[in-house]
Protein backbone atom coordinates (compact mmCIF):
# COMPACT_ATOMS: atom_id res chain seq x y z
CA UNK A 1 0.00 0.00 0.00
CA UNK A 2 1.54 3.31 -1.13
CA UNK A 3 1.22 6.10 1.41
CA UNK A 4 2.08 9.74 1.16
CA UNK A 5 2.56 11.28 4.57
CA UNK A 6 1.88 14.76 5.75
CA UNK A 7 3.06 15.80 9.19
CA UNK A 8 1.34 18.80 10.66
CA UNK A 9 2.99 20.11 13.80
CA UNK A 10 2.69 23.53 15.42
CA UNK A 11 0.85 24.91 12.38
CA UNK A 12 3.57 23.99 9.85
CA UNK A 13 2.83 21.50 7.07
CA UNK A 14 5.53 19.31 5.58
CA UNK A 15 4.45 17.36 2.50
CA UNK A 16 6.37 14.34 1.31
CA UNK A 17 6.76 13.84 -2.45
CA UNK A 18 3.73 12.15 -3.96
CA UNK A 19 1.13 13.91 -1.82
CA UNK A 20 -1.88 14.73 -3.96
CA UNK A 21 -2.37 18.49 -4.29
CA UNK A 22 -6.13 17.89 -4.04
CA UNK A 23 -5.56 17.22 -0.34
CA UNK A 24 -3.82 20.54 0.31
CA UNK A 25 -6.99 22.23 1.59
CA UNK A 26 -8.06 19.19 3.59
CA UNK A 27 -5.70 20.01 6.48
CA UNK A 28 -7.31 23.42 6.92
CA UNK A 29 -10.80 21.98 6.67
CA UNK A 30 -10.03 19.13 9.07
CA UNK A 31 -8.56 21.50 11.67
CA UNK A 32 -11.63 23.74 11.41
CA UNK A 33 -14.01 20.79 11.83
CA UNK A 34 -12.06 19.48 14.84
CA UNK A 35 -12.21 22.98 16.36
CA UNK A 36 -16.00 23.16 15.74
CA UNK A 37 -16.49 19.77 17.36
CA UNK A 38 -14.39 20.75 20.38
CA UNK A 39 -15.94 24.18 20.92
CA UNK A 40 -19.50 22.92 20.44
CA UNK A 41 -19.02 20.07 22.89
CA UNK A 42 -17.15 22.27 25.39
CA UNK A 43 -19.94 24.84 25.28
CA UNK A 44 -22.60 22.23 25.98
CA UNK A 45 -20.51 20.70 28.77
CA UNK A 46 -19.92 24.10 30.38
CA UNK A 47 -23.66 24.75 30.34
CA UNK A 48 -24.34 21.32 31.88
CA UNK A 49 -21.70 21.90 34.55
CA UNK A 50 -23.20 25.28 35.44
CA UNK A 51 -26.77 23.93 35.46
CA UNK A 52 -26.31 20.60 37.22
CA UNK A 53 -22.67 19.82 37.91
CA UNK A 54 -20.36 17.09 36.67
CA UNK A 55 -22.83 14.21 37.08
CA UNK A 56 -25.24 15.97 34.69
CA UNK A 57 -22.35 16.71 32.32
CA UNK A 58 -21.68 12.95 32.07
CA UNK A 59 -25.07 12.43 30.43
CA UNK A 60 -24.63 15.44 28.17
CA UNK A 61 -21.26 14.13 26.99
CA UNK A 62 -22.66 10.61 26.47
CA UNK A 63 -25.48 11.81 24.24
CA UNK A 64 -24.26 15.05 22.70
CA UNK A 65 -20.71 14.12 21.63
CA UNK A 66 -21.92 11.42 19.21
CA UNK A 67 -24.75 13.69 18.01
CA UNK A 68 -22.35 16.56 17.33
CA UNK A 69 -20.00 14.22 15.44
CA UNK A 70 -22.92 12.86 13.39
CA UNK A 71 -24.18 16.34 12.53
CA UNK A 72 -20.73 17.56 11.49
CA UNK A 73 -20.20 14.38 9.45
CA UNK A 74 -23.49 14.92 7.62
CA UNK A 75 -22.83 18.62 7.01
CA UNK A 76 -19.23 18.25 5.86
CA UNK A 77 -18.88 14.88 4.16
CA UNK A 78 -16.03 13.97 6.51
CA UNK A 79 -16.13 11.00 8.90
CA UNK A 80 -15.64 12.64 12.31
CA UNK A 81 -15.20 11.13 15.75
CA UNK A 82 -13.05 10.82 18.85
CA UNK A 83 -10.73 7.97 19.79
CA UNK A 84 -8.62 7.06 22.79
CA UNK A 85 -6.24 4.35 23.93
CA UNK A 86 -8.35 4.35 27.12
CA UNK A 87 -11.87 4.84 25.74
CA UNK A 88 -14.81 5.71 27.90
CA UNK A 89 -17.18 4.20 25.32
CA UNK A 90 -15.33 1.37 23.59
CA UNK A 91 -18.08 0.87 21.02
CA UNK A 92 -17.72 4.44 19.72
CA UNK A 93 -14.21 5.53 20.67
CA UNK A 94 -11.89 2.55 20.22
CA UNK A 95 -9.16 3.35 17.69
CA UNK A 96 -8.47 1.37 14.54
CA UNK A 97 -4.85 0.32 13.91
CA UNK A 98 -3.91 3.57 12.11
CA UNK A 99 -5.45 5.69 14.90
CA UNK A 100 -3.74 3.55 17.56
CA UNK A 101 -0.37 4.12 15.86
CA UNK A 102 -0.96 7.89 15.72
CA UNK A 103 -2.10 8.03 19.36
CA UNK A 104 1.09 6.22 20.39
CA UNK A 105 3.11 8.66 18.27
CA UNK A 106 1.36 11.53 20.07
CA UNK A 107 2.29 9.97 23.43
CA UNK A 108 5.93 9.66 22.32
CA UNK A 109 6.00 13.25 21.11
CA UNK A 110 4.47 14.44 24.38
CA UNK A 111 7.02 12.44 26.39
CA UNK A 112 9.73 14.17 24.34
CA UNK A 113 8.40 17.55 25.45
CA UNK A 114 5.76 18.48 22.87
CA UNK A 115 2.70 20.34 24.14
CA UNK A 116 -0.41 18.13 23.83
CA UNK A 117 -2.34 21.14 22.51
CA UNK A 118 -0.16 21.25 19.37
CA UNK A 119 -0.21 17.58 18.38
CA UNK A 120 -1.72 16.88 14.97
CA UNK A 121 -0.99 14.32 12.28
CA UNK A 122 -2.26 13.76 8.76
CA UNK A 123 -1.63 11.10 6.17
CA UNK A 124 -3.02 10.17 2.79
CA UNK A 125 -3.76 6.43 2.84
CA UNK A 126 -5.38 4.04 0.43
CA UNK A 127 -8.61 2.44 1.59
CA UNK A 128 -10.54 0.14 -0.73
CA UNK A 129 -8.40 1.38 -3.61
CA UNK A 130 -9.25 5.04 -2.99
CA UNK A 131 -7.12 7.85 -1.59
CA UNK A 132 -8.25 8.85 1.89
CA UNK A 133 -7.03 11.88 3.79
CA UNK A 134 -6.82 11.03 7.50
CA UNK A 135 -6.28 13.64 10.19
CA UNK A 136 -5.98 13.49 13.97
CA UNK A 137 -5.72 16.25 16.55
CA UNK A 138 -4.84 15.48 20.16
CA UNK A 139 -7.31 16.13 22.97
CA UNK A 140 -5.29 17.24 26.00
CA UNK A 141 -6.67 16.88 29.49
CA UNK A 142 -7.53 20.32 30.87
CA UNK A 143 -8.01 20.95 34.59
CA UNK A 144 -11.82 21.04 34.14
CA UNK A 145 -11.70 17.56 32.54
CA UNK A 146 -10.42 16.07 35.79
CA UNK A 147 -13.88 16.25 37.37
CA UNK A 148 -14.84 13.25 35.18
CA UNK A 149 -11.48 11.95 33.93
CA UNK A 150 -9.20 12.48 36.95
CA UNK A 151 -7.84 10.04 39.49
CA UNK A 152 -10.13 11.29 42.25
CA UNK A 153 -13.85 11.47 41.44
CA UNK A 154 -16.75 12.36 43.68
CA UNK A 155 -19.01 9.40 44.51
CA UNK A 156 -21.81 11.07 42.49
CA UNK A 157 -19.64 11.37 39.37
CA UNK A 158 -18.25 7.84 39.74
CA UNK A 159 -21.81 6.50 40.03
CA UNK A 160 -22.96 8.46 36.95
CA UNK A 161 -19.95 7.20 34.96
CA UNK A 162 -20.48 3.60 36.07
CA UNK A 163 -24.13 3.78 35.00
CA UNK A 164 -23.45 5.44 31.64
CA UNK A 165 -20.22 3.61 30.72
CA UNK A 166 -19.88 0.12 32.23
CA UNK A 167 -16.53 -0.46 30.45
CA UNK A 168 -15.10 3.00 31.18
CA UNK A 169 -11.30 3.19 30.99
CA UNK A 170 -11.02 7.00 30.75
CA UNK A 171 -10.16 7.77 34.36
CA UNK A 172 -6.97 8.53 36.23
CA UNK A 173 -5.69 11.34 34.01
CA UNK A 174 -3.66 14.35 35.10
CA UNK A 175 -3.84 17.82 33.56
CA UNK A 176 -1.86 18.04 30.33
CA UNK A 177 -1.95 14.34 29.56
CA UNK A 178 -3.23 13.13 26.21
CA UNK A 179 -6.79 11.87 26.69
CA UNK A 180 -7.40 10.96 23.06
CA UNK A 181 -7.84 12.64 19.71
CA UNK A 182 -10.34 13.93 17.22
CA UNK A 183 -10.18 11.74 14.13
CA UNK A 184 -11.36 12.81 10.70
CA UNK A 185 -11.18 11.21 7.29
CA UNK A 186 -12.28 12.06 3.78
CA UNK A 187 -12.15 9.69 0.82
CA UNK A 188 -11.73 10.93 -2.71
pLDDT in tens, 71-124: 999 999 999 999 999 999 999 999 999 999 999 999 999 999 999 999 999 999
In sequence order, what DSSP letters do the residues of 145-179 get, joined into one string?
Answer: GHHHHBSS--HHHHHHHHHH-TT----SB-TTSEE
Q: Is residue 174 part of a domain?
A: no
Q: Is residue 33 part of a domain?
A: yes
Q: Is residue 136 part of a domain?
A: yes
- pLDDT tens-digit profile of 164-175? 999 999 999 999
Q: Is residue 152 part of a domain?
A: no
Q: Is residue 163 part of a domain?
A: no
Q: Is residue 82 part of a domain?
A: yes
Domain range spanning residue 45?
A: 4-140+179-187
* Number of folded domains that form the chain: 1
**Nearest Cα residue to 119 out of 26, 16, 34:** 34
Burial of 181 (0-12, 13-18, 19+ CB in 10 A): buried
pTM of structure: 0.86
Amino acid sequence: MMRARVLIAMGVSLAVAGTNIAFADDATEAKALARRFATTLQGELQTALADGGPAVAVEVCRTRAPAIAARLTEESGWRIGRVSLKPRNGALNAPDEWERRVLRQFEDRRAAGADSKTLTYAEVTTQNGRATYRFMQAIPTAAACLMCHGATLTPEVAQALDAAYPGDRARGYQAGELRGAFTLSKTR
